[in-house]
Amino acid sequence: MNWLFELAAVSKQAFYKKLNRPRIDYSLQIAALIEGADAIRREHPGCGVEKIYDTLQPGWIGKNKGVALLYSYGYKLHQKVNYRRTTIPVSSPYENLIEGMLVRDKNQVWQSDITYIKIAERFYYLVFIIDVYTKEVLGYSVSNNLRAEANLVALSMALHSQKDTSLTALVHHSDRGSQYIDHRYIKELQRRHIFISMGNKAQENAYAERLNGIIKNEYLKRWNIEDFTGLKRKTAKAVKHYNTRRIHKHLPKKQTPQQFSRACVNLDTQNRPKVIIYTDGKPKLKSALSLLEFYPETEPQAPICPMVY
């Protein structure tokens, strides 16, 4: 039994050695972390604490403790939730073509939506078009009304950004708002041989809905915006920051949308991460199979699926 006493003695010595170990002064590291967090919040005022940690990646402290430390210094966000109708649903001959679809590349699925923001007691409206695969904002518009002209401006910007690219395999998805049924909007999509897809509920347009929340809650509502001109200027800034500086946890290596967009050009089909569009368990096989590669038997069906390798 002597070995048990020897083991206990060694353990006791190690315990007291650890107990008496001099404390490390992390004040400089904490100051650097706070300085970095402040810099991120100046550019991305609604950036969450976990994303701040992931962006800075301080090697001297783990994620859980790092997040707790930032919380203790007052970096926790408080979100405001409200709702205002921005579209009037209308009957449409266009079905939801993207439900359950497997996406392997950019320019396969775009989603668009309209949201609103209140500035100086007036409501203004924002239109965004996002590439589901890269999460990049390709087109946007700011207006003081809900007419279809704003949607056309956003669409024109998105199409121009891909002017040298064939879009014949692209699906443009939106809700059934009257702006998306406008004959000029439909004509422009058909002119580029783009498939038209529409859904009935927010979950079917989830990527665009999430983008709306990010632009408004992480940027616009946290900046001092006084008028319509300021809103347009700040929206352009928000989109630029979102595309080029804000890391996305669902993208490989937590890249920004533009970083991933450039990187995926050099990836072969086998090495490309996949995105599976939201499905409620009733994937429309006929529509999906007529457009893109789709494996209903082998690919998992999951809501708002992140990148899958």
The 3-state secondary structure of the chain, one letter per residue:
CHHHHHHHHHHHHHHHHHHCCCCCCCHHHHHHHHHHHHHHHHHCCCCCHHHHHHHHCCCCCCHHHHHHHHHHCCCCCCCCCCCCCCCCECCCCCCCCCCCCEECCCCCEEEEEEEEEEECCEEEEEEEEEECCCCCEEEEEEECCCCCHHHHHHHHHHHHHCCCCCCCCCEEEECCEHHHHCHHHHHHHHHCCCEEEECCCHHHHHHHHHHHHHHHHHHHHHCCCCCHHHHHHHHHHHHHHHHHCCCCCCCHHHCCHHHHHHHHHHCCHHHCCEEECCCCCCCCHHHHHCCCCCCCCCCCCCCCCCCEC
Q: In this predicted structure, what is the pLDDT of residue 284?
A: 44
Cross-strand bridge partners of residue 308? 274
For residue 134, the tally of other CB atoms under 10 A from its CB is: 25
CATH class of the domain comprising 102-289: alpha beta
Measure the CA–CA gap between 197 and 171, rounded to whole angstroms. 7
Could you give the residue range(s) of every CATH 3.30.420.10 domain in the chain?
A: 102-289
Q: In this predicted structure, what is the pLDDT of residue 288?
A: 37
Q: In this predicted structure, what is the pLDDT of residue 298?
A: 40
CB 116 within 8 A of CB 306: no
For 30, 33, 41, 54, 132, the CA distances from 61, given in Å and listed in that order, are 10, 10, 20, 12, 34
Q: In this predicted structure, what is the pLDDT of residue 78?
A: 63
Residues of the chain with pLDDT below 70 are 1-23, 25-27, 41, 43-44, 46, 73, 75, 77-91, 278-309
Q: In this predicted structure, what is the pLDDT of residue 34?
A: 73
Q: In this predicted structure, what is the pLDDT of residue 307?
A: 43
Q: In this predicted structure, what is the pLDDT of residue 2?
A: 53
Measure the CA–CA gap between 261 and 182, rounded to whole angstroms. 30
Tokens 């121009």 belong to 160
